[in-house]
Amino acid sequence: MSSVEALAQVISNGVKDIQAQCTARGFSYPTPDVVCSPETDAIQNEFSSQAAPIIAAAYQLIATLSHPQPYLLGMGLWGYFPASLAYIDATFVPDILREAGDKGLHVNDIAAATKVHPGRLGRILRLLATRHVFEEVAPDVFRNTRLSSGMCLGKSVKEILENPLGRWDGSSGVAAIVSLNGHENMKTAASLTETLLDPVTGFSEEPTEAAFQRGHRTRLPCYEWLEEPENIITLSKFPNAMRGTTHYNSDKVVNEGFEWAKLPEGSLVVDVAGGIGNLTMVLASTHKHLRYVVQDRPAVIKAAHEHWAQKMPGYVEKGIVRLEPHDMFDPQYIRDASIFLLRYTTHNWSNKYATKFLTRLREAAQPETKLIIIDGISDYLCRDTSSIDNIPGAAKAAAPEPLLAYPDSTIGWGYLMDMNMLGMMNCQERTVGEFMTLLKASGWKIERICRFEAPLPQQIICTLL
Ligand SMILES: C[S@@+](CC[C@H](N)C(=O)[O-])C[C@H]1O[C@@H](n2cnc3c(N)ncnc32)[C@H](O)[C@@H]1O
């Protein structure tokens, strides 16, 4: 069978399978016109592992059938998609269209609500509609699709206009992370080539010598730059963006993988560089028998106090959760932690720096303390698992040829996030082998890995070396 036929079969058999299961259980798989809701999101989450090879096959089919030149010419301009999405967030079009309902709204009216140029807004909406984010239902009249509704903030347009800076607070965080990637991170991406070709910065492990500094014309590392007064919008966006990465499947993250429920009553979980405590919030509301500390930079902890007071009043006051400023490169003062938790933090630092803070945690660990790194893992694209076969949970089942080995990884955003990390701080997503080397240098070893389907982050459970 030719590979085109094999790919087409993966698509057709896979779709039939999903449809049959939905029919048998008396519901429909959400179609593109069905806007996001907890019920329809739950259906898609449930079928995500079955959908992954179908989506991967569709991408591969496009790559197979496309003439290389138009494919590459188009790919060279893909950057305008994230740029357009950032603009859509800045003009909160998904919420304007949510209020407009099924009939949609003329671009003149959308533009009037947000005081921008209607013709330009229309062109951006049309570009996105080519990829099913928005639908043009009549000339210049647009409505939300399921995809564009994923960026809704869930607030009234009036409320957003009254407090545009706080628009992401309390939202799913999806619009915030899309905006971060489509705006701030695009400036970084545009400077990647010159940074990598430079004989100094191209080899640097320093967070002050990355593409970020060129793109943003600063000498400051990203997290210090964020706190400069002129970057207040980004500072407000960033912690909300961190929530956007797992919002759609947060139940899975706290109920599957590491056995939080089995930790003894009163065990202390320290969320190091925990931001405003997005993950701790989900953990604390589910696993009430544990105590928690969220540590981060002082400005972030200040924002965390406001966030907890608003979203989960009582937890801080009752001492279930402590929010404490702490520089993770300083000696760790908590010596009785059951768990040190690092989510989306290890990937923020090159080995030179990651070794430093992992060593700080090792110095403060008790013999039974576990380190849980929650981060992406870069899978090799070939089918060689020899280096990870000894680690429980590390290997993943490979998809049949002609698909790439791990469909969930290739359709997710892990490899893009790796580039984001390279650009932001000269840091990286890591393969299992790279994690093993890093942890060994810091006095830890991998006990096991709890795999989640990408783009959900993986859990790497570590013990003392
Ligand atoms: C990518 S965010 C992840 C936040 C959080 N773990 C989460 O998953 O939502 C990385 C965090 O590291 C924090 N950070 C950066 N440098 C730090 C330092 N030296 N000490 C403590 N936290 C730091 C940032 O403020 C930011 O909140």
Residue ranges of domains in the chain, CATH in brackets:
3-75 (no CATH), 80-167 (1.10.10.10), 175-243 (no CATH), 245-464 (3.40.50.150)
Length of the chain: 465
Residue 225 beta carbon below 6 angstroms from any ligand 1 atom: no
Active site residue 347: yes
What is the average pLDDT across 368-382?
A: 94
- pLDDT over 90 (residue 237): yes
Top mutation candidate among 206, 240, 308, 344 for ligand 1, by most atoms within 8 Å of CB: 344
Predicted confidence (pLDDT) at residue 448 exceeds the cutoff of 80:
yes
Q: Helix (H, G, I), strand (E, B), or coil: what is residue 45?
A: helix
* Nearest-angstrom CA–CA distance, 339 and 364: 11
pLDDT digit string (tens) for 157-212? 999 999 999 999 989 999 999 999 999 999 999 999 999 999 999 999 999 999 99
| Integer Cα distance of 249 and 257 in angstroms | 13
CA of 275 to the centre of ligand 1 (A): 5
Q: Is 120 helix (H, G, I), strand (E, B) or coil?
A: helix
- Whether the pLDDT of residue 71 is over 70: the answer is yes
Residue 344 contacts residue 199 (beta carbons within 8 Å): no
Q: List 291's β-bridge partners, or say none.
A: 268
Q: What is the pLDDT of residue 296?
A: 97
Ligand 1 pocket, residue 278 CB under 6 Å: yes
Q: Which atom of ligand 1 is nearest to the CA of 300?
A: 25
Contact between 308 and 285 under an 8 Å Cβ cutoff? The reply is no
Give the separation between CA 411 and CA 10, rounded to whole angstroms.
Answer: 15
Backbone torsions φ then ψ of 324, nearest 5 degrees = -135, 130
Residue 255: is its pLDDT beyond 90? no
Which residue is closest in CA terms to ligand 1's atom 9? Answer: 242
Is the Cβ atom of 427 under 6 angstroms away from ligand 1? Answer: no
User: Strand, coil or helix: what is 76?
Assistant: coil
CB of residue 280 inside a 6 A radius of ligand 1: no
Distance (angstroms) between ligand 1 centre and the Cα of 71 equals 38
Ligand 1 center to 320 CA (angstroms):
21
Distance (Å, rounded) from C-alpha 372 to C-alpha 370? Answer: 6
Q: Does the CB atom of residue 296 touch ligand 1 within 6 A?
A: yes
Q: Which residue has the tokens 């830890």?
A: 444
Does the beta carbon of 453 lie inside 6 Å of ligand 1? no
As given in the structure block, the two tokens for residue 308 are 């907890």
pLDDT at residue 109 greater than cutoff 70: yes
pLDDT above 70 coverage of the chain, percent: 98
- Residues 303-348: tens digit of each pLDDT: 999 999 999 999 999 999 999 999 999 999 999 999 999 999 999 9
| Whole-number pLDDT of residue 361 | 98
Token pair in block for residue 25: 């259980």
What pLDDT shows up at residue 88?
98
* pLDDT: which is higher, 441 or 408: 441
> Strands 268-271, 141-143: parallel, antiparallel or unpaired by DSSP?
unpaired
* Predicted confidence (pLDDT) at residue 266 exceeds the cutoff of 90: yes
The active-site residue out of 247, 307, 326, 347 is 347
Which amino acid residue places its CA nearest to atom 6 of ligand 1? 274
Residue 397 predicted with pLDDT over 90: no
Of 354, 350, 329, 356, the residue nearest 425 (C-alpha): 350
Quick one: pLDDT at residue 250? 65
Whether residue 247 is predicted with pLDDT greater than 90 in this model: the reply is no
Q: Is the pLDDT of residue 253 over 80?
A: no
Instruction: State the average pLDDT for the chain.
Output: 95
